[in-house]
Amino acid sequence: MQDTILEMLDQVERGSQPPILFDELLENCLDQPEVAAEIRAMIEVKASGREFDVIDSQPALNRWMADQFERLSAELPEEREPPEVRIFDQAFREIVERVQDRVTRDFK
């Protein structure tokens, strides 16, 4: 999840798009050494082949992710009404019926 949040930060704040080297992203977007240390520790666990090991909660990282989620959520546009889906439902039904008719006809 931290990769996604860091990528979102990079996109929102710098206008750039992934892919980007993780270390570069970490250095450019994360100004909290405690959080960076927790992320690096998690990377070391994964790199050591012990990725299924249970690790303790990372409070600084959890707090940082919650703060970033809240901040980025505030920047999202307001929700709009969902699009009318009846036309898509009808189109899907027609396609399924055509395929079913063709399969039925081809296997007779």
pLDDT, tens digit (0-9, with 9 covering 90-100), for 3-32: 566 666 666 666 656 566 777 777 776 788
Contact by Cβ (8 Å): 65, 2: yes
Q: Which residue stretches of the chain have pLDDT < 50?
A: none
pTM for the full model?
0.47
Domain ranges for the chain: 2-83
Q: What is the C-alpha to C-alpha distance for residues 18 and 25, in angstroms, rounded to an integer?
A: 10
